[in-house]
Structure 1
Amino acid sequence: MKLVIISGLSGSGKSIALDTLEDCGYYCIDNLPVALLQDFIDHVMLEDRETYKKTAIGIDARNQTEYLADFPEKLKFIRSKGIECEVVYMQAEENIILKRYSETRRRHPLTTASRPLREALEIEQQVLRPVAAHADIIVDTSFTHYHQLRDLLKNRLGEKGKGNLSILFQSFGFKYGIPLDADFVFDARSLPNPYWAPELRGFNGKDQAVIDFLENEVIVKEFLQDIGQFIERWAPRFESDNRSYLTIAIGCTGGQHRSVFLVEALSQYFKSKIPNVIVRHRELR
């Protein structure tokens, strides 16, 4: 049996996540109180294993704070029952969430007549810390649109054999901010930049002209080799520590040329070594 718990900040995409999992065959329940989680496992999931063999539950800040504080114990209980449980925590930058609420004109669940939205967001982050601290996957949706988020969740939560590590290689531009969900961040801004070659400026790191340019630079080869050796050495340590997911982010100035090339090259190399390799180019549209 498999249980996915979706939590995170309001406005970060939790509803999209649950809808995506429902499309993937999960039985989905939104906003289940943490206080009822143990009873749900005992008296619903375990008594009807066929119906609830793949279940997703949404847990948010509308729970009382003391119940959310008990989340780590509830998680231990779930796993003690032999249920494969993964916790997905979703977040986004504060200014992005504020913009989303402004555009949709929806009310944040923690706002009141005397509590503005920004203050509600701060409280929400505090009360959800016990959940965030035990997340198997942290998804930052600040720069992710609807279809990208759906594809990302489908890839990351797809069925895979026990003990297999899933690695997400992500390119990004430093000028737009560092990904908050990255486990390791590598800075490629010291490498030769195709942007300054006028004939290459309109291309990106997936185009052959840019690939040829970067493959001819010795320092690029050395950089690529060093990152590859680092991942080969340390990825098995994460897997042996029961980590299921690892996010490697590589950034350049604009996220168009060097970082895209490096992510493509690394993903191709590791696809022959690791069963679950995912690629995301944050700044490419």
Structure 2
Amino acid sequence: MQNKLVIDIHSFSYKKKGIPKDASGNGGGFVFDCRGILNPGRIEEYKSQTGNDIGVQEFLEQKTEMPQFLKSVQSLISISIKNYLERGFEHLQINFGCTGGQHRSVYSAIKTAEFIRQNFPDAEVRVYHDEQLHLNPATV
């Protein structure tokens, strides 16, 4: 029996820790820069929120080019995911970075995980918010 494809998705801050290292040792994967999307963190009502909050999500979906950005991301990653599943690969890493790792990258990681789970149920998806640790699942 072949092992399952595990897809690790990270949101991170370019300013703080930088691009996450691939713990699998394979290297590669994707790094998407979300800084070209209007930053909700510059708007007072969203400063203390994250990309997991509905207000930030609505802002990104309605007032920025985030939907177009994620559609392009989904198209690109789907090529590799299909290929990796067919070839029996075991790991893929997808990273989303923004200035503080709080709004745009968090949103992108969450929505990309939802897309992969819906379209590639044979893959296991794990999401890590490198700057927003409180959003990560509790580990025992």
TM-score (norm: length of structure 2): 0.82
Q: Does 1:170 align with 2:44?
A: no
Q: How does 1:1-285 map to 2 (within 5 A)?
A: 162=2, 164-176=4-16, 177-181=18-22, 183-272=29-118, 273-275=120-122, 276-285=124-133
Farther off after superposition, 235-244 or 246-255:
235-244
Residue of structure 1 in register with 2:25 after alignment: none
Deviation of 1:241 (Å): 3.5
On the 8 A contact 1:165/1:274 being kept in 2, the answer is no
Equivalents in 2 of 1:219, 1:163: separation in Å?
37
Aligned residue pairs: how many? 125
Q: Deviations over 1:88-146 (max 9, x none)?
A: xxxxxxxxxxxxxxxxxxxxxxxxxxxxxxxxxxxxxxxxxxxxxxxxxxxxxxxxxxx
Deviation of 1:278 (Å): 0.9
Equivalents in 1 of 2:63, 2:20: separation in Å?
27
Describe the SS at the equivalent of 2:121.
coil
On the 8 A contact 1:183/1:246 being kept in 2, the answer is yes
Describe the SS at the equivalent of 1:167.
strand
- Aligned AA (1:174): Y
Describe the SS at the equivalent of 1:172.
strand
Equivalents in 2 of 1:171, 1:237: separation in Å?
24
Describe the SS at the equivalent of 1:179.
coil
Residue of structure 2 in register with 1:52 after alignment: none
Describe the SS at the equivalent of 1:221.
helix
- Aligned AA (2:7): I
> Unpaired runs of 5+ in structure 1?
1-160
Equivalents in 2 of 1:260, 1:167: separation in Å?
16
Equivalents in 1 of 2:2, 2:88: separation in Å?
10
Deviation of 1:240 (Å): 3.2
Equivalents in 2 of 1:210, 1:218: separation in Å?
11
Equivalents in 2 of 1:230, 1:271: separation in Å?
16
> Unpaired runs of 5+ in structure 2?
23-27, 134-140
Describe the SS at the equivalent of 2:111.
helix
TM superposition outliers: structure 1 runs of 4+ over 6 Å: none
Equivalents in 2 of 1:282, 1:218: separation in Å?
24
Describe the SS at the equivalent of 2:73.
helix
Equivalents in 2 of 1:206, 1:248: separation in Å?
18
Given the superposition, is the C-alpha separation of residues 184 and 250 from structure 1 closer, same or farther in structure 2, using an over 3 Å criterion?
A: same
Q: Deviations over 1:47-70 (max 9, x none)?
A: xxxxxxxxxxxxxxxxxxxxxxxx
Larger radius of gyration: 1
TM-score (norm: length of structure 1): 0.42
Deviation of 1:201 (Å): 0.3
Deviation of 1:163 (Å): 5.0
Deviation of 1:270 (Å): 1.2
| Structure with higher RCO (Cα < 8 A, 6+ apart) | 2
